[in-house]
Amino acid sequence: MFPEAFIKRLRSDLGITEANALLETLQSPPPVTIRINPRKIKDAWKELALPIAAPLDISEYGFLLSQRPVFTNDPLFQSGCYYVQESSSMVLEHYFSYADIHPDKEFNVLDLCAAPGGKSTHLLSLLHGIPGAMLVSNEVIHSRVTILADNLSRWGDSNVVVTHNDPSDFGKLKHFFDVILIDAPCSGEGMFRKDAGAVAEWSEDNVTRCAARQRRIISDAIESLKPGGLLIYSTCTFNHFENEDNTKWTASEFGMEILEQEHLYPGKAYGEGLFMAALRMKGTSSKNFISEITRKSVTKPYYKAEIPFLREKFIPISKGNLLKAYPSDCLDRMFFIESKLKTIRSASSIATILTDRNGKTTLIPEPDLAFSEVLKRNIFPEVELTYNDISRFLRCETMTFHDSPKGYLLLTYLGHPVGFVKNIGSRANNLWPVSRRVRLSHIIDE
């Protein structure tokens, strides 16, 4: 079932007993694990209607489930209250702790190979509460960047710019990032457990090609790391060519120190298998020089009118008829990134600005506003829905709210905002985007 050359290499790297145990684990179904969004969920056991079996040691936000539910049917999955992620990836939390964080300095993080967004959502949770912390979440493959942007919208943090660039484009951001995560495309031996296609695609030649590509990616991005900055490198493959050989090469090529590296093999951890390493660049960083440059040079289209549903520390900016909210302590740097890279999404989209013939403006809430940290609660009238009714909403059905005020209503499920409708009395227009429509959501017998 597995390629002979793969089995042979595993046995020579790990010894026969460990390799055989690993091969056996690779044939069993993978465990199901989730990571909660700590901004939205405080007590997973009480707040999530999921079959939680145990907390995970690897992350304070991780939980093991006893079976796999249909996640897309869960309104709290749809509204970014948790992310479904294999558990070894959550070791990121430990490797991120090597980052040098100073409360009085800007803090810029790059997730270079980010789609579909597992590690970016985790990074955002780790950045939460760090003043001036900003994430650039990048994906080079066009077909994967939309799902990345969508997952980050649902997560709801506003201090993130989603970009669609080749790693070589990051050379122009010399010494900008404090932390760079390279979760590199790899030969995917860790995917063998759940993806037969990964087994079929595997070959020794592909391992060699992947290792060379990973070195190119590291070389392209490394210029943008600050002196003293942290590089976190990971793959979901087991071989040393793409892992230890590459970290050793990186350390000697760019004068870096390997702080820690490890394999998390399936069987030992609940996950599917991951290699992660932390490397520090020599030197110490100069202070906030990029912010100084950008503050002087970029003019920003501030939106002047008062926005009652916007929380205080966020700055409204209009781009065409789209109104967005930026965190005040990242605004300059987010504009700087937007000017340098191909930006797919940045900050939080909060409303579409509609101007009538007399110049009167109306703000139509953007769907992403419901998920976002920038939303001030209880400004829009809120309507808590049952599971069946929120499922109808997620299917984009037209609904009625005879007992609610006319105008925009914020719909919640178990207290969490999910989306908006415009109540016009006889019916309510559903503002859940068709692109996110949940086609298979089921209705429970009432």
CB of 259 to ligand SAM, least distance (A): 20
Identity of the residue numbered 152: L
Q: Is the dihedral of CA 172, 179, 133, 87 positive or negative?
A: positive
Q: Is the dihedral of CA 359, 364, 368, 370 positive or negative?
A: positive
* Choice between 158 and 235, CB closer to ligand SAM: 235
Q: In the 3-class helix/strand/coil scheme, how is 305-348 assigned residue by residue? A: CCCCCECCCEEEEEECCEEEEEECCCHHHHHHHHHHCCEEEECE
Q: Is the peptide bond before 51 cis (omega within 30 degrees of 0)?
A: no
Strand ranges in 90-205 using DSSP code E only, listed in sequence order? 107-111, 133-138, 160-163, 177-183
**Which of 208, 209, 222 minimizes the C-alpha distance to 251?**
222
* Choice between 56 and 310, CB closer to ligand SAM: 56
Cα–Cα distance for residue pair 97/114, rounded to 1 Å: 19
CB of 130 to ligand SAM, least distance (A): 20
- DSSP reduced 3-state for 86: coil
**Cβ pair 423, 409 in contact under 8 A:** yes
Tokens 């579909």 -> residue = 116
CB of 213 to ligand SAM, least distance (A): 6
Identity of the residue numbered 49: A
* Choice between 156 and 190, CB closer to ligand SAM: 190
Q: In 370-409, which positions are buried (b, 16+ CB within 10 angstroms) versus exposed (e)?
A: bbbbbbeeeebeebebebebbbbbbbeeebebeeeeeebb
Q: CB under 8 Å to 306, separation ≥6 — which residues? A: none
CB of 140 to ligand SAM, least distance (A): 4
CB of 69 to ligand SAM, least distance (A): 20
* Choice between 114 and 431, CB closer to ligand SAM: 114
* Choice between 169 and 368, CB closer to ligand SAM: 169
CB of 85 to ligand SAM, least distance (A): 7
* Choice between 341 and 351, CB closer to ligand SAM: 341
Catalytic residue among 81, 236, 330, 396: 236
CB of 119 to ligand SAM, least distance (A): 4
CB of 148 to ligand SAM, least distance (A): 8
* Choice between 99 and 140, CB closer to ligand SAM: 140
Chain residues in the site for ligand SAM (CB under 6 A): 89, 113-119, 139-141, 144, 167, 183, 185, 213, 217, 236
Cα–Cα distance for residue pair 189/271, rounded to 1 Å: 13
236 is catalytic: yes
| Dmax (CA) of the chain | 79
**Which of 172, 156, 180 minimizes the C-alpha distance to 339?**
172
Q: Is the dihedral of CA 428, 429, 431, 437 positive or negative?
A: positive
* Choice between 213 and 340, CB closer to ligand SAM: 213
Which residues are catalytically annotated? 236
